[in-house]
Structure 1
Amino acid sequence: MTVHAAPREGRARRSTAALPLLLDLVLPLGAYYGLRLAGVDQWWSLLWSAAIPAVAVVVRLVRTRRLDLLALLILTMIGLGLVLSSLTGDPRALLIREAWTGMLGGLIGVWLLASVGFGRPALMLLFRSFVQVKAGEAGLRAWEERWEEDAAFRRGVRVLTAVWGAASLLNAFAQLAFAYLLPVDAAPAAMHACWPVIAVPLFLFHLAYTKRRGLRA
């Protein structure tokens, strides 16, 4: 039984990691364009595609039975967008609501960039749990102590944090521009594709840079 436990755990981790991608990208896009092909108008198609991540947030709140401020904020933004769109009858209001929800990532980008010049960059805080899982408590302490002892490490972490911050801001503003400027039927695909297009080179850069600069735990 021990022999087969590791592959099963690996498959479970991959399934868990793929679930947000399915709920946030694949299903909403599939719902929108599937409904449009079926002749449903833009407003209702956007409404049903927005319902998928909203339902996922509600299910998570019910399952965990724990107050999640980010989840509540997302639900509030969705609700406000629906009210505004209902009053105006404009499907673009739903797109704009989604884009402004995406601006939360832009705020994270601002936080990352601002932290570069003040104390330890925020990326060290965000990656702390990953380092702990990978290297354990002793490895985490050694990784954090390098900030005090190694100037090259400090410089490398600052550069990495600035790149992640810039990428987060670029994603947020690109989604906002797509929501306002593109035709309604083209905007959902562009908005959902925006982060994957940015994230692939970002992760490749992250892996290469952390290896070359010796930033990994």
Structure 2
Amino acid sequence: MTLHTVPRRTGAAALLPLLLDLALPLGVYYGLRLAGVDQWWSLLWSAAVPAVTVLLRLARTRRVDFVALLVLSMIALGLVLSALTGDPRTLLVREAWTGMLGGLLGVWLLASVGYGRPALMVLFRSFVQVKAGEDGLRAWEARWHQDAGFRHGLRVLTAVWGAASVLNALAQLAIAHLLPLDAAPAAMHACWPVIAVPLFLFHLGYTKRHGLRA
């Protein structure tokens, strides 16, 4: 019998998407501002960075990715609106509305808590399957019918993830509208990491303490 292993990504390879999606646009914006470029053009070029990375990924995989196309369309819409209005804040608001997609995910998570199985259980299936195999997945899903504590724990976890996603979306929208233009890009990029770190720590502790892991 031949064992097939999944190649592990190196630390640099795992950090590269984070660098491209978060650090690079900020570096472009603040680098141009330090060079004396005005806010509109700085935001314009920094907004082009995610579009270029999405196009490169599409070219590399040669697959039509709905999420990638959605991101490109949102970027294009923001650039057109900003060009028509000449207002740099329009680009920031466009980024915030892109973040609202995560808010919609949060609303879906919250809505699922009170109806049927919580959505996080659906999202966890692939992780459980990879970790525990088909038998482990069946045993994990069977706990939904057998263990009231398991059901309660997954509902709590789903509600927390949903609330965090909605909070991130609303915070980004508020930042885009209220903060000074030069402060807003950094604050918007820092918003999710600030929420995500305690969220992941809570997730790890809660799943271990309540036996929710496969």
Name the TM-score class by shorter chain. over 0.9
1:151 corresponds to: 148
Aligned length: 209
Distance in 2 of aligned mates of 1:64 and 1:119: 36
Q: Which segment drifts farther, 13-22 or 127-136?
A: 13-22
Q: Equivalent residue for 2:81?
A: 84
One of 11, 15, 18 as aligned partner of 1:14: 11
Q: What displacement does 1:20 show?
A: 2.3
Distance 2:12 2:144 in 1: 35
Structure 1: runs of 5+ lacking an equivalent: 1-5
The secondary structure found in structure 1 opposite 2:120 is helix
Equivalent residue, structure 2, for 1:99: 96
Q: Quick one: structure 1 residues 16 and 122, their matched pair in 2 at CA, closer, same or farther if it must change by over 3 Å?
A: farther
Matches within 5 A, 1:133-172: 133-172=130-169
**Residue identity opposite 1:100 in structure 2:** W
**Is residue 63 from structure 1 mapped to residue 60 from structure 2 by the alignment?**
yes
Q: Secondary structure at the match of 2:182?
A: coil
Letter of the 1:44 counterpart: W
RMSD: 1.3
2:171 is matched with which residue? 174
Deviation at 1:13, TM superposition (A): 4.3
The match for 2:108 is: 111
**2: distance between equivalents of 1:14 and 1:158?**
33
1:172-211 map, 5 Å: 172-211=169-208
Q: Within 2, Cα distance between the matches of 1:46 and 1:134?
A: 42
Q: Percent identity?
A: 80
In 2, Cα distance between the equivalents of 1:145 and 1:28? 45
Distance in 2 (alpha carbons) for counterparts of 1:135 and 1:186: 45
Q: Is the partner of 1:215 in helix, strand or coil?
A: coil
For 1:155 and 1:170, locate their aligned partners in 2 and report how far apart those are by CA, in whole Å: 22
Partner of 2:30: 33
What TM-score, normalized by structure 1, do the two folds share? 0.93
CA distance in 1, matches of 2:119, 2:16: 26
Taking structure 2 as the reference length, what is the TM-score of the superposition?
0.94
Any stretches of 5+ residues in structure 2 without a counterpart? none
String of CA shifts for 1:7-41, please: whole Å, max 9, x gaps. Answer: xx55x243343222111111111111111001111
- Which residue number corresponds to residue 73 of structure 1? 70
Corresponding residue of 1:53: 50
Question: How far apart, CA to CA, are the structure 2 residues paired with 1:170 and 1:122?
Answer: 18
Q: Within 2, Cα distance between the matches of 1:16 and 1:157?
A: 32
Q: Distance in 1 between matches of 2:180 and 2:64?
A: 37
Cα deviation, residue 65, structure 1:
2.0
Change (3 A) 1:148 1:14: farther
Q: Distance in 2 between matches of 1:82 and 1:118?
A: 40
1:152 partner letter: G
- Residues 124 and 97 (structure 1), Cα distance of their counterparts in 2 relative to 1, 3 Å cut: same
Change (3 A) 1:132 1:15: farther
Distance across 2 between alignment mates of 1:15 and 1:143: 33
